[in-house]
Amino acid sequence: MEGMISRELVELQKYALIESESRMSVETWAKGLVIKLLETTHGQWLYRNVVVHDKTTGDLASCRKEEIRDALEEQLVLGEEELAEEDRFLLEINLDDLDHSTGEEQTYWLLALQAAKEARQLRLQQINTATAPRAN
């Protein structure tokens, strides 16, 4: 933090200490100020890491979880129509688990559900192509 505090501020504090007849030296005051500034900035850094970047409860995680929750709810509303019988178990999910996790499992679940729907579509296309009358 050297050079971050104006020399004029230190000079002003030196005169204030003399005027108040304090036993504290200006050097002790300046060291204390730097320590308090470092503690404050470090505290803000820690807070930001927890509030913004924590993988389970941080703001970024919460936004991502909300996006996942919306996508999951949309899939649940669509129902089992687009799923093959053997893939319908994928609709069994507890959305409350999302609040206590990083959302990774739900993301995998969402990808599995989308892959199952896509696989069914491809199978239906193959069946339609195989059974379609051929033009000679």
Alpha-carbon gap, residue 18 to 15, rounded angstroms: 5
Residue 136: pLDDT over 70 = no
- 15 vs 135 pLDDT, higher one: 15
Residue 57: pLDDT over 80 = no
pTM to 2 decimal places? 0.49
Residue 56: pLDDT over 70 = no
Which of 36-45, 54-63, 118-127 is least confident? Answer: 54-63
Domains of the chain, by residue range, sit at 7-53, 60-131
| Per-residue buried b or exposed e for 109-125, using 16+ beta carbons within 10 Å of the residue's own CB | bbeebeebbeebeeeee
